[in-house]
Amino acid sequence: MTSTVQLEAAGEAVVGGAAAPVAGAKTKTAGKLNNLQILRAVAALLVVFAHAVHEVGDEAVRQGRAFLPTVIPGPFGVEIFFVISGFIILFISYEKFGRPGYIKTFLLNRIVRIAPLYWIFTGLWVASAVLFSGMVSHAGIDVPKLVASLFFVPWHDADKGYMPTYTLGWSLNFEMFFYAIFAVCLLFTRLRGLIVLSAVLVAMVLLRMVVNAPPIEFYGRYFVLEFVAGAWIAYAIRQKGGGWVSNIYAPTALLVAVLAVILAGGAWFGAEESTAMLVFRGLAAVAVVAAFVGAPDVSQGRGGGGPLSTLLVKIGDSSYSLYLCHPFVLGAVLLVMRKAHLGPADMPWVAVAACFFASVVAGWICHLALEKPLVTAGHRLVKTVAGS
């Protein structure tokens, strides 16, 4: 699952929070990408909160207690990421269509942005399984699945389906697939490339209805349409220079409508995959991204947007690190609480809050200590290899 607001123009990347103007885009439009940073934060926090509730709930069940709050749509956060990813990738590549030489740079940039941090956390996950789960050798580790996971190839097994070794990587498998298809579409002119992208991914979804076999079974899930929707939103923005959204000054109304849909969805929102999920989660994710893009740039508001928006932009900066590191943080917090005889099941909401805030802090530390240096070094390498 990750979407980055890495604005790569003229072979250079702007790493971090404040979105920068992109060649050919109006500054006013590019500035609105700050709103997407806030939305990335909200999406990541939804995922973390949902997983924290789930882990504390499991702890309560193991102790014979009940802790089952209303459904928290954590998967909704991932789907928002997918729409944002489609938006950003089209946005930053708007001027690059019909330039075959850019494809190599594009793919290398995506790899160095996504892979190194994911590989580190996959390695940590394997190490923790060996050290803390009673394994004394690698016999308990599915090596072919691990290798497939590291190369973002879906690997099916009877127990966990298509979940990779580090389960959060399932969303990154979709991301990498989208990048690969998008790279091919860069061979065409802009509109034709976007039409080809849409046709291929829609065809995958339709084909899955009649061919339920790998890799269609995995890549043909409706998630891929959310990337397409995000790309079309970006295309409309770049085509019109953002003018058409300037008149939509009341995105709050749209957000309220979306929230009403979410509440009306009720338990359907907790489903793994269903028609209701397509209607409520997929379309709601698209609507939310469109609303945030249509809203005035928060960084240009009175007082520069205020401390809350500043904090959310910072969390948006670190959302990839937050996404990847939070399972470790959840486990550590609950372990500490048990060792301190605080009993997560005795005070479930305190445990959830502790997991939530500790994850945010750890995500920011990981962003500064690992993610930014890795991305910076990776982009230097890309410039050398691609000759840009």
pLDDT in tens, the chain (388 residues): 443 333 333 223 323 333 333 433 444 444 557 888 999 999 999 999 989 988 888 888 777 777 766 556 677 889 899 999 999 999 999 999 999 889 999 999 999 999 999 999 999 999 988 887 654 444 457 889 999 999 999 988 877 789 999 999 999 999 999 999 999 999 999 999 999 999 999 999 999 989 888 889 999 998 999 999 999 989 988 887 654 444 443 455 466 556 645 554 544 444 455 566 666 778 888 888 888 887 766 655 544 567 888 899 899 999 999 999 999 999 999 999 988 888 787 888 899 999 999 999 999 999 999 999 999 999 999 988 877 5
Domain total of the chain: 1
Residue 281 lies in a domain: yes
Torsion of CA 305, 310, 315, 316, to 10 degrees: 40
One-letter identity of residue 323 = Y
Residue 48 lies in a domain: yes
**Contact, 64 vs 160, CB < 8 A?**
no
Residue 167 lies in a domain: yes
Residue 16 lies in a domain: yes
Residue closest to 20 by CA, chosen among 91, 106, 81: 91
Alpha-helical segments (H) within 63-95: 74-92
Maximum distance among all Cα pairs of the chain, rounded to whole angstroms? 63
Q: What are phi and psi of 14, to 5 degrees?
A: -100, 110
What lies within 8 Å, CB to CB, of 126 at 6+ separation is 141, 146, 165
Residue 1 lies in a domain: no
Q: Which domain holds residue 150?
A: 7-386
In the DSSP assignment, the letter for residue 161 is B
Residue 178 lies in a domain: yes
Residue 127 lies in a domain: yes
| Residue 137 buriedness (CB in 10 A; 0-12 / 13-18 / 19+) | exposed
Residue 2 lies in a domain: no
